[in-house]
Amino acid sequence: MSIQPYRIVVASIKGGTGKTTSAVSLAAMLAKYQETLLVDFDPQAQVAAHFGRKQAPGVFDWLMDNQTLAESLYVGRPEILRILPGDTSSKDVGYKYVSQQGAFALASKLMEIEGFNFEVYDTAAGGFLQEAALMVADHVVVPFRTEGASLASLKNVMDVIRNSAGGAGVTLLPVGYQRQYTIHRRNLMAVVESLGEKYSVSEANAVPHRVSVLEAFSEGLTIWEYKDSGLDVVRAAYGRLAARLFGLAGYDYLEKNLEKIYASHV
């Protein structure tokens, strides 16, 4: 019997919200415990660089050039992580599927993937690939930056995503949070008061700002590999998010284990 994967899509309709960092950090944590596939559905294609690898037309080769999925993958870190890399050719994928019911045809193709417990999709700020990924999502993680957060903008983002994602669960993830700044606290509290209960957003789950996140990326390392104790609070935020997703996917023992590990890092 094939494994039924739990599909997580990291999405927004705004750029610069930390989608790739969130997708990579989450996938690398999930892969410490379960077989995980990380898919780069953003034509800017920065996923591979987080692992010190070059861009590659993996998405195009698999979806447009009849290459098998296995032939299109990178081995990630940890080694049970697999990465479907992309490059600028990813934007051409829609040309094949537009005559075959568009995003529905691509979503059907994604549903054929098997052999993984989790699939994590990094997506661009909108577009065909994001739409197809949202159609198959079990859960959507929506990062947003607290310095520029506005309720009107976030509600618009959520409306667009829910229209494509259907009944998928959604978590709003504050990123780049700096509590010492009044504007960050004020904006985040407004979001929590209005949307917190529905979308599991809280100050305790915010991802703090740390320059070393960018330093890790520049070294081709994930936040779990880069040696900097200043990243502990960032790792803890993504660890708690992973715990929640493990629980939603039915891995209660992993949820409790990660909650215990990261409970004291706030």
Q: Classify residue 262: in a domain, yes or no.
A: no
Q: Classify residue 165: in a domain, yes or no.
A: yes
pLDDT at position 158: 86
Quote the domain boundaries for residue 200: 6-256
Q: How far apart are CA 236 and CA 234, in angstroms?
A: 5
Q: Classify residue 19: in a domain, yes or no.
A: yes
Q: In the chain, how many domains are there?
A: 1
pLDDT at position 141: 96
Q: How far apart are CA 134 and CA 120, in angstroms?
A: 11
Q: Classify residue 263: in a domain, yes or no.
A: no
Residue 146 is part of a domain; what is its CATH number? 3.40.50.300
pLDDT at position 266: 55
pLDDT at position 1: 43
pTM of the predicted model over 0.85: yes
Which residues does residue 10 pair with via DSSP β-bridges, in sequence order? Answer: 122, 141
Low-confidence ranges of the chain (pLDDT < 70): 1-2, 99-100, 264-266
pLDDT at position 2: 55
Query: Phi-psi category of 81—alpha, beta or left, where left has phi over 0 and alpha has psi -120 to 50?
Result: beta
